[in-house]
C-alpha cells in the first residue's frame, strides 16, 4: 500500500542538495520562521509608527536606527565570533529578538522606541539584515559540498523570501481583528510584535538541535580574518555602496512611498509585497543554474543591472498599476544575486575564516544602509515623487559596474 505522506527523510532528500548535512534543514526552518515575522513587521512598522502619530522623517529615523544597530551588532560578531561557540551567539540573538518584539509592543514614546530599534533585531527590509544572517551562512557553508554550496544558499534565500511574502499578507491581520471587534487597531498591531518576539524562542529550539553549533567538538573552530582580509574588505566596501543605495528603498520606506503617492491601503500593500516576495523567491531557483553557466560574479551583476533600471522606472510611473508592474519586474531579478553573493564570499575565504568573513561582509547590509532611510524619509516629506527609488537605482548601477571591474577575474575554486 502506498503511503499517503512522503517520509520526512525523502522530503529532505528532495528539497536539499546532495551530500548536505541534516543541520541545513534546521537552519532553513529557523530562517523561514524569522522571515515570516520579518515580512509583516517590515510593513507594520511604518503603519504602526504613523498610527502613533509620528512623521515620515521619524519613521525613517527609526528604520535607520534598526539598520545601524544591526550593523554594529553584526560587526561585533565578526570581530569576536572566534571567542565563542556558535550556539552561544545564536542563543543570545534569539533572546534579543524576544526582547525587541516585547519592547515594541509595550513602548510608544519615540526616544525609547529609537533605543530599542538600535539594540534590537527589528528588520525594516525585505531581506535579512540581522545578526542571524552571518551566523546561519557560516553554518550553511559547512553543511554542503563546494559544488552544491550555491544551490543550498539559493534554497536559504528562497525560504526567506517565500515565508517573508506570506508574512507580508499577515500585515492585514490587525485590520481584520479590528474589523471583527476582537482588538482595537493599536492593540492588534502590538500583538503582532509580541508574536515576532516569541518566534525567536521557536528559532532557538531549532538552533539547539544543530550538531555543528553544539558542544560536541566537531565544529570548525572560527578564527579572525587572516590571509583573506584584503579581499573581504574590498567586497565589504562595495557591499557598503550597494547597501547604502538599497536603504533608500527598504520595504518599510517603499510601503510608505506607496501610501503617500497612491493612498494605498494596508491590505493592498500586503498583497503587492506578497507577490514581489514570490517573484524574488522564484528567481532563487534559477540562480544556481545561471551561476554554474556564467559564474557567480556575472550572475550578480547582469541580473542586477536591469532590476535597477526597473526601480528607477517605477518612480516615474504616473499610476499605481504601472508603478506596481515595474516593482514586480524589479523583484523578479533584483535578488538573484543574493545566493550568488553569499556563496562567493564563503568560497574565497578559508573554512575557519567564514564566520568572520560572513559577519564583516554582512555589516554593510545594515551599517551602510542605516543612513539612507532617514534621507528617504526626508525626501518623502518634501514630495511624494519617488526620488528615493531613483537614487537607489542609480547608485546600485554604479555598484554593479564597480563589482564587475574589480572581481571578474577573482574566481571561486569551482570556477577555476
> For residue 138, what pLDDT band results from cuts at 50, 70 and 90?
confident
Residue 126 has pLDDT above 70, yes or no: no
Residue 47 has pLDDT above 60, yes or no: yes
Cα(40)–Cα(74) distance, rounded to whole angstroms?
A: 23
> For residue 264, what pLDDT band results from cuts at 50, 70 and 90?
confident
Mean pLDDT, rounded, for 368-383:
82
More confident residue, 414 or 248: 248
pLDDT, position 14: 53
User: Within a 13 Å sphere around the CA of 272, how many CA atoms are in the beta-carbon half?
Assistant: 24
pLDDT, position 114: 93
Q: Is residue 1 domain-resident? A: no
Cα(133)–Cα(188) distance, rounded to whole angstroms?
A: 29
Burial of 307 (0-12, 13-18, 19+ CB in 10 A): buried
Cα(290)–Cα(282) distance, rounded to whole angstroms?
A: 13
Encode pLDDT of 227-243 as tens digits: 777 888 889 889 889 98
pLDDT, position 315: 93
Q: At what angle do helices 387-407 and 296-316 cross, to 10 degrees?
A: 160
Contacts of 224 (CB under 8 A, 6+ apart): 79, 82, 353, 356
Q: Is residue 231 domain-resident? A: yes
Q: Is residue 6 domain-resident? A: no
What's the sign of the alpha-carbon dihedral 178, 182, 187, 190?
negative
What's the sign of the alpha-carbon dihedral 157, 158, 160, 164?
positive
Range of the domain at 135: 20-415
Three-state DSSP string of 87-115: HHHHHHHHHHHHHHHHHHHHCCCHHHHHH
The answer to whether 11 and 93 are in contact (CB under 8 A) is: no
Would the pTM count as exceeding 0.75? no
Contacts of 207 (CB under 8 A, 6+ apart): 26, 30, 87, 90, 91, 94, 213
Tally of structural domains, the chain: 1
More confident residue, 354 or 329: 329
CATH number at residue 286: 1.20.1250.20
pLDDT, position 113: 94
Mean pLDDT, rounded, for 97-121:
93
More confident residue, 320 or 129: 320
Measured from the Cβ of residue 270, the count of other Cβ atoms closer than 10 Å reads 23
Cell numbers for 405, please give them. Answer: 571591474
Cα(49)–Cα(57) distance, rounded to whole angstroms?
A: 11
Residue 105 has pLDDT above 80, yes or no: yes
Cα(358)–Cα(136) distance, rounded to whole angstroms?
A: 9
More confident residue, 311 or 141: 311
More confident residue, 1 or 227: 227
pLDDT, position 5: 39
More confident residue, 220 or 413: 413
User: Within a 13 Å sphere around the CA of 219, how many CA atoms are in the beta-carbon half?
Assistant: 23
Residue 199 has pLDDT above 70, yes or no: yes
pLDDT, position 115: 94
pLDDT, position 364: 62
3-state DSSP assignment of residue 208: coil
Cα(376)–Cα(379) distance, rounded to whole angstroms?
A: 5
> For residue 49, what pLDDT band results from cuts at 50, 70 and 90?
very high
> For residue 78, what pLDDT band results from cuts at 50, 70 and 90?
low
Q: Is residue 347 domain-resident? A: yes
pLDDT, position 221: 53
What is the end-to-end Cα distance of the chain in Å, rounded?
A: 49
Q: Is residue 15 domain-resident? A: no
**Ranges assigned E (strand) in 136-191:** none
Mean pLDDT, the chain, whole residue set: 83
Residue 359 has pLDDT above 80, yes or no: no
> For residue 128, what pLDDT band results from cuts at 50, 70 and 90?
low
Q: Is residue 2 domain-resident? A: no
pLDDT, position 9: 53
Top mean-pLDDT range of 112-121, 164-173, 220-229, 367-376: 112-121
Residue 244 has pLDDT above 70, yes or no: yes
Q: Is residue 65 domain-resident? A: yes
Cell numbers for 353, please give them. Answer: 575564516
Q: Is residue 14 domain-resident? A: no
Lowest-confidence pick of 109-113, 265-269, 275-279? 265-269
> For residue 3, what pLDDT band results from cuts at 50, 70 and 90?
very low
Amino acid at each position: 500500500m502506498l503511503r499517503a505522506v512522503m517520509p520526512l527523510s525523502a522530503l529532505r532528500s528532495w528539497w536539499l542538495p546532495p551530500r548536505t548535512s541534516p543541520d541545513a534543514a534546521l537552519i532553513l526552518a529557523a530562517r523561514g520562521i524569522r522571515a515570516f515575522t520579518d515580512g509583516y513587521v517590515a510593513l507594520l512598522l511604518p503603519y504602526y509608527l504613523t498610527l502613533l502619530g509620528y512623521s515620515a522623517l521619524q519613521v525613517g529615523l527609526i528604520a535607520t536606527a534598526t539598520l545601524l544597530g544591526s550593523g554594529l551588532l553584526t560587526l561585533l560578531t565578526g570581530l569576536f565570533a572566534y571567542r565563542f561557540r556558535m550556539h552561544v551567539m545564536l542563543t543570545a540573538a534569539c533572546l534579543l529578538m524576544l526582547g525587541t518584539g516585547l519592547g515594541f509592543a509595550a513602548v510608544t514614546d519615540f526616544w525609547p522606541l529609537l533605543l530599542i530599534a538600535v539594540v534590537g533585531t527589528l528588520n525594516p527590509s525585505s531581506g535579512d539584515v540581522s545578526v542571524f544572517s552571518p551566523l546561519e551562512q557560516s553554518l550553511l557553508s559547512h553543511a554542503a559540498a563546494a559544488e552544491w554550496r550555491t544551490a543550498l544558499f539559493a534554497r536559504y534565500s528562497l525560504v526567506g523570501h517565500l515565508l517573508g511574502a506570506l508574512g507580508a499578507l499577515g500585515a492585514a491581520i490587525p485590520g481584520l481583528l479590528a474589523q471583527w471587534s476582537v482588538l482595537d487597531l493599536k492593540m492588534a498591531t502590538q500583538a503582532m510584535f509580541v508574536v515576532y518576539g516569541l518566534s525567536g524562542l521557536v528559532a532557538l529550539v531549532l538552533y539547539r538541535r544543530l550538531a555543528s553549533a553544539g558542544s560536541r567538538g566537531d565544529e570548525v573552530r572560527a578564527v579572525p580574518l587572516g590571509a583573506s582580509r584584503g579581499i573581504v574588505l574590498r567586497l565589504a566596501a562595495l557591499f557598503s555602496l550597494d547597501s547604502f543605495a538599497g536603504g533608500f528603498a527598504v520595504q518599510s520606506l517603499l510601503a510608505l512611498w506607496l501610501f503617500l503617492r497612491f493612498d494605498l491601503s494596508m491590505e493592498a500593500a500586503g498583497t503587492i509585497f506578497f507577490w514581489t516576495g514570490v517573484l524574488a523567491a522564484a528567481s532563487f531557483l534559477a540562480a544556481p543554474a545561471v551561476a554554474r553557466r556564467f559564474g557567480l560574479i556575472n550572475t550578480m551583476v547582469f541580473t542586477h543591472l536591469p532590476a535597477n533600471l526597473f526601480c528607477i522606472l517605477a518612480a516615474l510611473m504616473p499610476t499605481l498599476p504601472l508603478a506596481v508592474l515595474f516593482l514586480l519586474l524589479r523583484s523578479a531579478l533584483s535578488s538573484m544575486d543574493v545566493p550568488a553573493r553569499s556563496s562567493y564570499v564563503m568560497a574565497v575565504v578559508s573554512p575557519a575564516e567564514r564566520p568572520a568573513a560572513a559577519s564583516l561582509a554582512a555589516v554593510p547590509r545594515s551599517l551602510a544602509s542605516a543612513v539612507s532611510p532617514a534621507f528617504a524619509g526626508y525626501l518623502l516629506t518634501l514630495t511624494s515623487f519617488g526620488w528615493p527609488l531613483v537614487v537607489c537605482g542609480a547608485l546600485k548601477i554604479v555598484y554593479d559596474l564597480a563589482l564587475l571591474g574589480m572581481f571578474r577575474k577573482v574566481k571561486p575554486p569551482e570556477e577555476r
